[in-house]
Amino acid sequence: MVIQNRILLDLLRVWGRQDWIRYGVRDRTLRFFYGAYEKQELYLLRDLVAGRSDPVFVDIGANVGQHSLFMSRYCKQVHAFDPYEPVLASLTDKIGDNQIRNIQVHALAIGEKDEWLDFFAPHGPNRGTGSFSASHATDNNERIGQLRVLNGDSYFERLGLESVDLIKIDVEGFEKSVLKGLNRTLRTSRPSLFVEFSEETRRSFTGRDELIGLLPADYAIYGVATNKDVAVVLNRAAYRLTTFNFEAPGGNILLQPAERGDSLNRLDYAARLTSFST
């Protein structure tokens, strides 16, 4: 029986890693416990730092750490931020299990100012919905008290982060506050930004102009598309950059400074090599 169970687990792991199988099919049968979740987005992050000298990656809303763990292979430093202890404990365990030395974990949230805010933590199996917004994922979240938020620029200065190459922001509707708190960092480091743009995030802005107003000059905004269903159950795996539509939330966006056009050209080329038609 033990051998049979081992064989079954190995088969499930192989199934979960088959990118040619439509994502929804794999997700519904395995709940993404085998293989990687949002794999094409991980490849995009990897490609954004390709060719850069000793890149620094900041993961704001790290959760259990998939993005931090993956990017530790391609960056000199990784800084993972999350205020919710249960997910941070899982991340810390994974760092130890994999003997990773270049990830620094910060048990706090990044925002516009130093404060303590009500936090609504997940109580169901999905631990990725924790938020400072009372209206977010109300079917899965419940208030647990207040957690610590620090101004991003000031905290980065205390850390001695003089330059940041790539920032991922996935904070379940709190993205606007994070961007406001990183105003100086965005102006001095001009990093690439990979940001979740959910309906909750869209509602926090008065419009596209307010979002653009939080960015330094000469930043472009792109939508990020991944995967393409083929013949119902098959998939063509790739990422590609699309025209950003403020009125169509529900995915991730890339905020890219103009002077990093060389990396953007590489992304466009990589996307064309594995692109899918709309």
Distance CA(164)–CA(217), nearest Å, equals 17
Residues 182, 220: one domain?
yes
User: Is 213 strand, coil or helix?
Assistant: helix
Tell me, what DSSP letter sits at residue 131?
B
Q: Quick one: pLDDT band at residue 7, thresholds 50, 70, 90?
A: confident
Checking if the pLDDT of 22 tops 70, the result is no
Q: Are residues 67 and 123 in the same domain?
A: yes
Structure confidence at residue 222 (pLDDT) = 94
Q: Are residues 4 and 101 in the same domain?
A: no
Domains of the chain: total: 2
- Which has more pLDDT, 202 or 16? 202
Pair 140, 114 in one domain: yes
Mark whether 25 and 85 lie in a shared domain.
Answer: no
> What are the tens digits of pLDDT across the range 151-182?
999 999 999 999 999 999 999 999 999 999 99
CATH number at residue 179: 3.40.50.150
Q: What is the pLDDT of residues 129-154, one digit of tens each?
A: 899 998 888 888 899 999 999 999 99
Residues 117 and 212 both lie in one domain:
yes
Q: Say yes or no to pLDDT of 26 above 60.
A: no
Q: How far apart are CA 32 and CA 274, in angstroms?
A: 23
Neighbours of 210 (CB within 10 A): 12
| Domain membership flag for residue 278 | no
Do 7 and 116 sit in the same domain of this protein?
A: no
**Whole-number average pLDDT of the chain:** 85
User: Binning pLDDT at 50, 70 and 90, where does residue 278 land?
Assistant: very low
User: 6 pLDDT band (50/70/90 cuts)?
Assistant: confident
Residue 15 in domain:
yes
Q: pLDDT tens digits, residue range 195-212?
A: 999 999 999 999 999 999
Q: Residues 179, 108: one domain? A: yes
For residue range 48-88, list pLDDT tens digits in order: 999 999 999 999 999 999 999 999 999 999 999 999 999 99
Please check whether residue 62 is in contact with residue 81, taking contact to mean a CB–CB distance below 8 angstroms.
yes
Q: Is the pLDDT of residue 220 over 90?
A: yes
Q: Is the domain of 18 the same as that of 144?
A: no
Range of the domain at 66: 36-273
Q: Please indicate, yes or no, if residue 29 is contained in any of the structural domains.
A: yes
What is the structure's pLDDT at 136?
Answer: 86
Rounded CA gap, 202 and 224, in Å? Answer: 16
User: What is the average per-residue pLDDT within 221-228?
Assistant: 84
Specify whether 66 is located in the same domain as 7: no
- Would you state the structure tokens that stand for residue 25, as one six-digit string? 């099919």
Report how far residue 132's alpha carbon sits from residue 126's, in angstroms, rounded to the nearest whole number: 16
CB atoms within 10 A of CB 63: 22
Provide the 10 A C-beta neighbour count for residue 265.
Answer: 10
| Structural domain includes residue 173 | yes
- The answer to whether 131 and 120 have CB atoms below 8 angstroms apart is yes
Q: Are residues 58 and 122 in the same domain?
A: yes
User: Is residue 86 assigned to a domain?
Assistant: yes
